[in-house]
């Protein structure tokens, strides 16, 4: 059965499963099923499909490829000796595969895993045909380079040898046979047992090293001409007998037929039909869920604290982009987390659209306007947005601090942190955890499971990304105690993770306990607004089950700079304190407020203005003011060559409490929520985990069926109905086309051509996206795309 006809004979449900599992086959949608079959056999499409296979399914495919090649070689060898009709190779059956795989299995029996693997390979269109005559899809054999660690068939291995040399080798090992030298040599190597017995133990040891792969090696002067009689070294013995084939000037390969003989006919060894079991500690699932929920709450608050701190003191953007090393260290210290966790927080906040580059010409990292919308959402919804961003982003925070190929450091927020495989690795690692509820598997067992599930996707980078994924999942709150949480499982499945997390989150409290030593104790997580206010008016002294805040002159002045008054501060404390406001704290607020703003700093470059000349006398007489380059202009005004910001900082360092004022003389209030920049909305770098949408796949299959019908029948163009061309509102037109696509019926439309002339068409709509309708046009007997804005109306055909 031809592959294209097999594809054409698949049901619509099977075709939908195919394009859903291999979405690259309909990007864009082929014109007909023959085009789909051609695209399915392209090397790039086959490579992507093979990357999705587990170890056992890939082994079944490799076994089929090897068996098919061997059957073809045997048939060719028998044909060379036959004087009648050419011998056709025996079809590969499921029973043949079962026997080949049975000997390779470390434990158990090949069924039912073999049946499941074959069904999966058929679903992916990598194998076609019934169990009694299995065949590889076109192109699969070419992409499967060295399947199962076996070398190329003898016909391919010796294709670059001179015909004269092949004739001499064939005369030595297969005298009296018919055919060309290559054919005689290939036929002799199908059963190479006698040739192997003739070589020395040293030569046999060289063959044993190549038996289970890799099947290639390096040998000086590999293309030397040598006969069995003149062979001296072990390598020459093998070259003279065709047991090794020279594939280059210094490279040799073990022919596939020889390798199979050395393996006693087995294609694989120590093959497992089921994935390796996960090993690790068993945890209580409810405890893991609560632990993960607590960490999820902490991660949300950490992101919020990051944005609030960067509102007040935004770090600069490096010339090459990214965040400076010192700024990252300072951020880690302020957030009280390790540097790698700070880099993760920064990267997730940036990927979620909460921070972006903005500010002046040099650029600063500032919160975006989207942060204010995110901050007012429920905590569970905020976490879901962050966790989903982390799961799907192609940025790798774990690489921060490492060096690139040019030995340049990789900074946080730098463009070089993108790795296209990162989202798939995270999903695969969490998928392993999802397969073992209540188990915290060891890193080694996770790596072993992923190596079985994705054998073609191995390498140092993927192992590193897996390590990052497991570590970051714990920090984000997707896992707890190494176990995938319930809300993490919902996140991975694309379900509503916020509703699963919400009942597990700690209930925020709206009060603190003020103490006489100028500290305040939060007995639990504070509400978002109170936490924001406390962070403004006090400094966090310690974190844990209860957060301790300390009030000081600097923190009180920070609140006053943000527009708070002394009365407002005390009223806020009284309203949210479960204990009376200590007298010492009241005195501190009153004292700082009394001195705050007596001195005004404006722009001259800068100036100092004060209604108390004695205070200005004190400033000018202070030796520490020399660096500010002050000059007295009037009893109540001092000018400075320094900038306004430098002058304010300098006077504060001297113990004064100045405030900045605008050109109009108004006090500048540094409200934190005013320092914002416009940021791009968070982008999803990967498709949803369930693949293509069901409606998209259904529409694609309908378009393929319609195009294939047109391709096979080559119908003559149909005449449009008589009467007035359909016209109607745009909304009614779109609704009618969507209904026609769902029902799979034909419609009559009016369509404006490029010159604006109205034409009449009979269509079989297939899909609608991006402002275009893809349909089979019966009036033109071809598949076309129609611009929706040019369709004047739709009418039913009855």
Using the predicted structure, report yes or no on whether residue 361 has a pLDDT greater than 60: no
What 3-state class would DSSP assign to 776? Answer: strand
Spatial separation of the C-alpha atoms in residues 387 and 430, rounded to whole Å: 13
CB 651 within 8 A of CB 619: yes
Q: What's the pLDDT score for residue 694?
A: 79
Spatial separation of the C-alpha atoms in residues 426 and 389, rounded to whole Å: 12
Top pLDDT among 596 and 238 is at 238
In this prediction, residues 483-487 reach a mean pLDDT of 95
Q: What's the pLDDT score for residue 688?
A: 44
- DSSP letters, 357-392, are EESSSS-EEEEBHHHHHHHTS-HHHHHHHHHHHHHH
Using the predicted structure, report yes or no on whether residue 558 has a pLDDT greater than 90: no
In this prediction, residues 73-87 reach a mean pLDDT of 60
Q: What's the pLDDT score for residue 776?
A: 78
Residue 365 pairs in a beta bridge with 357
Q: What's the pLDDT score for residue 687?
A: 45
In this prediction, residues 84-108 reach a mean pLDDT of 76
Spatial separation of the C-alpha atoms in residues 443 and 449, rounded to whole Å: 10
CA distance to 89, 160, 245, 305, per residue, from 77 (Å) = 10, 20, 19, 75
Q: What confidence tier does 469 reach under pLDDT thresholds 50, 70, 90?
A: very high
Spatial separation of the C-alpha atoms in residues 391 and 468, rounded to whole Å: 12
Which of 67-81, 359-373, 393-407, 770-784 reaches the highest mean pLDDT?
Answer: 393-407
Averaged pLDDT of the chain: 85
Look up residue 71 and give its two tokens: 């059957």
Using the predicted structure, report yes or no on whether residue 388 has a pLDDT greater than 60: yes
Give residues with Cβ within 8 angstroms of 594, minimum separation 6.
none
Q: What confidence tier does 680 reach under pLDDT thresholds 50, 70, 90?
A: low
Q: Which residue has the tokens 């934190």?
A: 672
Spatial separation of the C-alpha atoms in residues 340 and 328, rounded to whole Å: 9
In a 13 Å sphere around the CA of 504, the CA atoms on its Cβ side amount to 28
Spatial separation of the C-alpha atoms in residues 682 and 692, rounded to whole Å: 21
Residues 693/454/396/356 CA torsion (nearest 10 deg): -10
Q: What is the CA radius of gyration of the chain?
A: 37
Spatial separation of the C-alpha atoms in residues 254 and 350, rounded to whole Å: 53
Q: pLDDT (tens digit, 9 = 90+) per residue, 590-636?
A: 888 888 877 767 666 688 888 888 888 888 888 888 888 787 878 88
Q: What is the sign of the dihedral through the CA atoms of 139, 140, 141 and 144?
A: positive
CB 631 within 8 A of CB 638: yes
pTM: 0.72
Q: What is the sign of the dihedral through the CA atoms of 19, 20, 26 and 29?
A: positive
CA distance to 334, 364, 411, 644, 785, per residue, from 330 (Å) = 6, 15, 14, 25, 56
CB 555 within 8 A of CB 573: no
CB 762 within 8 A of CB 720: yes
* Strand ranges inside 43-84, DSSP E: none
All domains of the chain in start order, with CATH: 41-144 (1.10.10), 154-262 (no CATH), 280-504 (no CATH), 513-595 (no CATH), 600-666 (no CATH), 715-796 (2.30.30)
Q: Which residue has the tokens 């391919």?
A: 156
Using the predicted structure, report yes or no on whether residue 671 has a pLDDT greater than 70: no
Which of 193-197, 425-429, 654-658 reaches the highest mean pLDDT?
Answer: 425-429
Q: What's the pLDDT score for residue 503?
A: 92
Q: pLDDT (tens digit, 9 = 90+) per residue, 501-531?
A: 999 987 778 888 888 888 888 887 787 778 7
């Amino acid at each position: 059965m031809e592959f294209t006809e097999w594809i054409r004979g698949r049901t619509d449900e099977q075709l939908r499963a195919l394009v859903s599992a291999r979405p690259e086959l309909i990007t864009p949608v082929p014109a007909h099923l023959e085009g789909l079959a051609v695209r399915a056999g392209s090397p790039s499409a086959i490579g992507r499909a093979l990357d999705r296979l587990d170890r056992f399914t890939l082994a079944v495919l490799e076994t089929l490829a090897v068996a098919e090649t061997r059957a073809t070689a045997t048939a060719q060898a028998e044909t060379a000796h036959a004087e009648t009709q050419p011998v056709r190779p025996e079809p590969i059956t499921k029973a043949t595969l079962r026997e080949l795989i049975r000997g390779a299995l470390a434990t158990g029996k090949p069924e039912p895993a073999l049946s499941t693997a074959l069904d999966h390979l058929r679903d992916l269109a990598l194998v076609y045909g019934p169990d009694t005559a299995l065949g590889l899809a076109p192109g699969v054999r070419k992409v499967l380079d060295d399947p199962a660690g076996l070398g190329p068939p003898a016909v391919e291995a010796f294709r670059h040898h001179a015909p004269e040399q092949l004739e001499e080798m064939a005369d030595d090992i297969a005298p009296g046979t018919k055919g060309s030298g290559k054919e005689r040599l290939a036929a002799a190597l199908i059963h190479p047992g006698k040739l192997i017995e003739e070589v020395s133990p040293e030569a046999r040891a060289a063959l044993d090293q190549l038996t289970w792969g890799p099947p290639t090696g390096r040998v000086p002067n590999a293309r030397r001409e040598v006969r069995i009689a003149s062979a001296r070294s072990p390598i020459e013995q093998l070259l003279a007998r065709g047991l090794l084939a020279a594939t280059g000037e210094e490279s040799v390969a073990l022919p596939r037929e020889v390798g199979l003989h050395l393996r006693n006919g087995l294609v694989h060894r120590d093959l497992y039909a089921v994935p390796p079991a996960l090993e690790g500690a068993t945890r209580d699932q409810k405890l893991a869920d609560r632990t993960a929920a607590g960490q999820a709450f902490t991660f949300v608050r950490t992101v919020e604290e990051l944005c609030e701190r960067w509102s007040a003191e935004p770090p600069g953007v490096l010339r090459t982009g990214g965040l400076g090393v010192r700024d990252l260290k300072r951020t880690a210290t302020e957030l009280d987390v390790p540097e790698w966790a700070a880099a993760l927080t920064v990267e997730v906040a940036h990927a979620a659209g909460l921070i972006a580059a903005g500010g002046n010409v040099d650029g600063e990292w500032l919160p975006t306007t989207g942060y204010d919308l995110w901050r007012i959402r429920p905590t569970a919804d905020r976490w879901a947005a962050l966790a989903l961003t982390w799961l799907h982003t192609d940025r790798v925070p774990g690489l921060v601090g490492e060096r690139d190929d040019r030995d340049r450091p990789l900074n946080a927020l730098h463009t070089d942190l993108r790795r296209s495989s990162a989202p798939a690795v995270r999903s695969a690692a969490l998928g392993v955890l999802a397969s073992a509820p209540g188990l915290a598997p060891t890193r080694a067992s996770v790596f072993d499971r992923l190596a079985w599930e994705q054998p073609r996707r191995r390498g140092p980078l993927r192992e590193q990304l897996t390590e990052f994924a497991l570590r970051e999942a714990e920090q984000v709150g997707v896992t707890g105690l190494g176990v995938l949480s319930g809300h993490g499982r919902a996140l991975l499945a694309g379900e509503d993770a916020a509703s699963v997390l919400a009942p597990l989150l700690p209930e925020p409290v709206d009060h603190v306990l003020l103490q006489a030593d100028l500290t305040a104790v939060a007995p639990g997580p504070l509400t978002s607004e109170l936490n924001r206010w406390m962070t403004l008016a006090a400094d966090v002294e310690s974190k844990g089950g209860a957060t301790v805040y300390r009030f000081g002159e600097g923190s009180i002045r920070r609140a006053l700079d943000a527009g708070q008054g002394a009365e407002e501060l005390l009223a806020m404390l009284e309203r949210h304190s479960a204990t009376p406001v200590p007298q010492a704290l009241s005195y501190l607020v009153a004292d700082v407020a009394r001195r705050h703003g007596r001195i005004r700093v404006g722009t001259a470059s800068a100036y100092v203005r004060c209604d108390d000349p004695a205070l200005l006398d004190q400033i000018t007489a202070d030796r520490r003011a020399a660096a500010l380059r002050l000059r007295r202009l009037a009893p109540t005004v001092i000018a400075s060559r320094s900038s306004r910001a430098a002058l304010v900082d300098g006077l504060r360092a001297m113990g004064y409490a100045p405030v900045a004022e605008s050109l109009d003389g108004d006090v500048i209030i540094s409200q934190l929520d005013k320092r914002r920049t416009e940021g791009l909305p968070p982008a999803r770098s990967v498709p949803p985990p369930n693949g293509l949408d069901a409606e998209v796949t259904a529409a694609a299959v309908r378009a393929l069926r319609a195009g294939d019908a047109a391709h096979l029948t080559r119908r003559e163009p149909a005449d449009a109905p008589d009467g007035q061309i359909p016209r109607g509102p745009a909304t009614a037109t779109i609704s009618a086309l969507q209904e026609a696509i769902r029902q799979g019926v034909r419609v009559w439309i009016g369509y404006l051509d490029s010159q604006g002339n109205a034409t009449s068409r009979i269509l079989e709509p297939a899909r609608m996206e991006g402002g275009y309708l893809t349909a089979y046009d019966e009036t033109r007997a071809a598949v076309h795309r129609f611009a929706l804005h040019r369709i004047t109306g739709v009418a039913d055909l009855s």
